[in-house]
């Protein structure tokens, strides 16, 4: 039996371990501060007067909660928030549907030219979005002219081009390809075809990548500015980022109202991430897609 003295000595951690732990926590604390500071600055600035917000103060000398009301009214946020909501939901549903089907085909159905088509698809990820913006604009204009629905200044131009995402197809294809063939064979013996196998077996196993797609697509659509500005010319379908942009003037910015607006705009993203962070983190860790 150890004497109390011996036990005390055994419980004491070596100095290098304490130093390592301290360093780790210090580093992580710095990381947390770096990550939190922009949010703090946004919140703090949103509560300042315009004059104070233009300076370098970090704490408001006087709280101005009315900035939130002003921002909401000035930038017609109720309309833009509703527009962003419906654009995002339509895009999400479309992206999940088409990306899932395409990814499944690339992962589990053999057809001539499959790998070449998939490679070609991947190469499109290398082209900067700004390069294709005018050709895409011409395409949606043309589609609006030949089709029954107008595309410009309407939901099709804002949603349909984003329903086919190469990144989502790639991500899902990698997960679908890992599903063992034996599962498909068993499902086939029970009379299931590809669609039933996808719906009943593959998708329930792929919640994590689906969550990643939902979160990334949601953020991308919610924050979109350049494309919506190009394909809309009235507030009927413009998203929330346009409302934020309106606080930038010719010779200055209403920075306090802009930050109040930004805080309002970021709330849905925070809620979504709060509910999906477990699957999101899991998927990122599993797929090795860290920053």
Partner 1 sequence: MINKLLKLAFPIALVLSMLLVSCGPAATSTPLATEPPPAAPTNTSQPAEPTAPPAEPTSPPAPQPTTPPAEPPKPAIDPTGQTVTFWHVWGTGLPNDTMLAIVDSFNATNEWGITVEAMDQGGYSNLEDALNAAVQTGDLPDLVTGYTNAMANWYAVDAVVDLTPLANDPVLGLSQEDWAAFYPGAIEGGKAPDGKLFAFPISQSANVIFYNSQWAKELGFDNPPTNYAEFKEQACAATEANNNDDNPDNDGTGGLVLYASASNVASFVFANGGTMLNADKTGYDFSDPTVVDVANFFKDLWDSGCAYPTESYPNPEFATRKALFTVSSTAGLPYQIAAFDAPDAIKDEWTLIPFPGKDGGQAVNLFGQYVAIGNTNPERMMATWVFLKYLTSPEVQAKWIGGSAYYPTRSDTLQFLGTYKATNPIWSYGLSFLQYGAAEPAWPSWTSVRRSVGDTFSAILAGTPADIPSLLSDLNDTAAQAIIETQE
Interface with partner 1 (CB under 8 A)? 49-52, 54-57, 61-62, 66, 69-70, 72-75, 78, 81-82, 84-85, 89, 134, 137-138, 141, 152, 226, 229-230, 233-235, 242, 245-254, 264, 267-268, 271-272, 275-276
> Minimum CB separation from partner 1 for residue 91, in Å?
14
Distance CA 267, CA 229 (A): 22
48: exposed, middle or buried (C-beta count within 10 Å: 0-12, 13-18, 19+)?
A: buried
Q: Which is nearer to partner 1, 48 or 107 (CB)?
A: 48
> Minimum CB separation from partner 1 for residue 161, in Å?
14
> Minimum CB separation from partner 1 for residue 267, in Å?
7
User: What is the residue-wise DSSP string for 23-56?
Assistant: HHHHHHHHHHHHHHHHHHHHHHHHTS-HHHHTTT
> Minimum CB separation from partner 1 for residue 263, in Å?
12
Q: Which is nearer to partner 1, 50 or 117 (CB)?
A: 50
166 contacts: CB under 8 Å, gap ≥ 6: 121, 122, 124, 125
Q: Which is nearer to partner 1, 1 or 129 (CB)?
A: 129
Q: 183 vs 104, 187, 190, 200, CA distance in Å?
A: 14, 6, 11, 11
Q: Which is nearer to partner 1, 106 or 283 (CB)?
A: 283
Q: Using CA of residue 220, residue 222, residue 223, residue 228, what is the dihedral sign?
A: positive
CA 20 to chain centre: 35
Q: Which is nearer to partner 1, 23 or 233 (CB)?
A: 233
The half-sphere exposure of 133 on its side-chain side, counting CA atoms within 13 A, is 11
> Minimum CB separation from partner 1 for residue 129, in Å?
13
Q: Which is nearer to partner 1, 31 or 38 (CB)?
A: 38
> Minimum CB separation from partner 1 for residue 151, in Å?
11
């Amino acid at each position: 039996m150890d004497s109390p003295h011996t036990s005390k000595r055994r419980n004491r951690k070596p100095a290098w371990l304490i130093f390592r732990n301290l360093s780790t926590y210090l580093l992580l604390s710095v990381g947390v501060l770096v990550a939190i500071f922009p949010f703090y600055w946004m919140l703090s600035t949103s509560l300042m007067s315009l004059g104070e917000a233009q300076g370098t103060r970090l704490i408001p000398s006087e709280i101005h909660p009315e900035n939130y009301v002003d921002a909401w009214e000035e930038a017609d946020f109720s309309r833009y928030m509703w527009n962003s909501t419906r654009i995002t939901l339509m895009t999400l549903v479309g992206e999940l549907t088409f990306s899932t089907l395409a990814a499944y085909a690339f992962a589990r159905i053999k057809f001539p030219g499959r790998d070449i088509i998939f490679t070609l698809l991947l190469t499109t990820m290398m082209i900067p979005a700004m390069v294709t913006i005018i050709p895409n604009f011409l395409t949606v204009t043309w589609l609006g002219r030949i089709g029954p629905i107008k595309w410009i200044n309407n939901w099709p131009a804002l949603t349909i081009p984003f329903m086919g995402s190469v990144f989502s197809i790639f991500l899902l294809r990698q997960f679908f390809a890992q599903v063992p063939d034996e599962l498909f064979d068993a499902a086939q013996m029970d009379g299931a075809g590809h669609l039933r196998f996808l719906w009943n077996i593959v998708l329930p196993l792929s919640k994590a990548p689906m969550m990643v797609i939902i979160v990334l697509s949601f953020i991308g659509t919610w924050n979109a500015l350049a494309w919506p500005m190009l394909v809309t010319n009235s507030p009927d379908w413009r998203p929330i980022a346009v409302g934020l942009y309106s606080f930038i003037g010719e010779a200055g910015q209403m920075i306090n109202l802009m930050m109040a607006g930004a805080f309002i705009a970021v709330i849905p993203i925070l809620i979504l991430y709060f509910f999906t962070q477990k699957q999101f983190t899991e998927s990122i860790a599993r797929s090795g897609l860290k920053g």
